[in-house]
Copies of this chain bind each other. A is one copy, B any other.
Amino acid sequence: MSDQISGARPTLEAVAERAGVSRATASRVVNGGTGVREALVEKVRKAVEELGYVPNQAARSLVTRRTGAVAVVVAEPESRVFADPFFAQQLLGISRELAVHDSQLVLLLVEGTADYDRVGRYLSGGHVDGALVFSLHAEDPLPGITRRIGLPTVFGGRPGWPAAEGDRSVLYVDSDNRGGAREAVRHLVSLGRERIATVTGPLDQTASVDRLDGYHDILMDADPRLVVEGDFSEAGGARAMAQLLDRAPDVDAVFVASDLMACGALRVLRERGRRVPEDVAIVGFDDMASVAELADPPLTTVRQEIEEMGRLMVRLLVRGLERRSEEDSGGRPLSSLVTPTRLVRRASA
């Protein structure tokens, strides 16, 4: 019987009546139950149970101004959600951490200009308490939107748009791309390699730039022919590697800015008869399980805690929300997070 009530869902009113208390008391119990006599708490709990009561979120958020939902905004999903197991894992982290905070994940994929409109309207509509934004490029209007409407926002990766530089109020979670790159290159140097090249990601993304900076930190005046721009795809890595071999046949090590690209590079090296790591040592970046370990040879790579980054984004956002609602704003202001990376040695270097 009671598990088939498909029609009218019970209201708080009904629960209160059944428990013989007022709506206010029932509400108190449902929301934590502090300050209510134990006997009544029990009664209400029982009524909730029997009726199969579930609070109506719409009514609740109408008055609390909280929705219990967080938007995850992804620009250019085609190139991202997709090709990128990276993002999938981050999403997993986000989802898990949101579950901990009893919040829902509203996924907004943004493709065209019209979508920006739609998403902008949605975010302004008070449908969500905050937003986690993954936007790749500098000209993205998203950051401006969330800022204008005052929606708490955390970015995935250091945002690259000009005004953000040095603006401490812009919150993001990133991994230590530069440090990781440094460690990778240092490792290659320690191996005695002398012509160390790098295949970068698209240089309009901060992650790519930071990794390249890390490379230059160690190899301050590297031969510019040893730097080739890739696009984070397997094919792009292959293309870049081919180009590199043509430009600098004497290359003996490559720091490739992603595992996927490293795979492409590995393939080209194999095709051209270069042995890895004997002739050319390779270090990747990401440590994506499905790629790095299975590569031939298994990739030495820089590990980032991808899922952890997703979780941290949520925690940062939630902390911001708490502050805001407490009108507290005490303590020192929230600041962006940079998660450590670490070199994982396998066979390729």
Contacts and interface: CB of A to CB of B under 8 A. Distances in A.
A39 interface: no
A294 interface: yes
A121 interface: yes
B294 A4 contact: no
A294 B125 contact: no
A290 B92 contact: no
A339 interface: no
B54 A124 contact: yes
A148 B4 contact: yes
A127 B121 CA distance: 19
A329 interface: no
A95 B75 CA distance: 13
A133 to B, nearest CB: 16
A57 interface: yes
A56 B294 contact: no
Contacts of A108: 104-105
Interface residues of A, number: 53
Nearest to A71: B104
Interface stretch (A81-89, A244-252, A311-319): A81-89
Q: Which of A85, A88, A118, A290 has the most CB of B within 10 A?
A: A88
A33 interface: no
Given A62-B56, A62-B62, A82-B92, A106 B69 contact: yes
Q: Which of A72, A96, A149 has the most CB of B within 10 A?
A: A149
Interface in A40-78: 52, 54-59, 61-62, 67, 69, 72, 77-78
Given A4-B148, A56-B125, 13 more contacts: A56-B126, A57-B127, A58-B67, A58-B126, A81-B92, A82-B92, A83-B85, A83-B290, A92-B109, A95-B107, A95-B109, A96-B109, A104-B127
Interface of A: 3-4, 6-7, 9, 52, 54-59, 61-62, 67, 69, 72, 77-78, 81-83, 85, 88-89, 91-92, 95-96, 99, 102, 104-109, 111, 115, 118, 121-122, 124-127, 148-150, 234-235, 290, 294
23 contacts: A7-B150, A9-B124, A55-B125, A56-B125, A57-B126, A58-B62, A58-B126, A59-B62, A62-B62, A72-B107, A77-B95, A81-B92, A82-B89, A88-B88, A92-B109, A95-B109, A96-B109, A99-B115, A99-B118, A104-B108, A104-B127, A106-B106, A107-B107
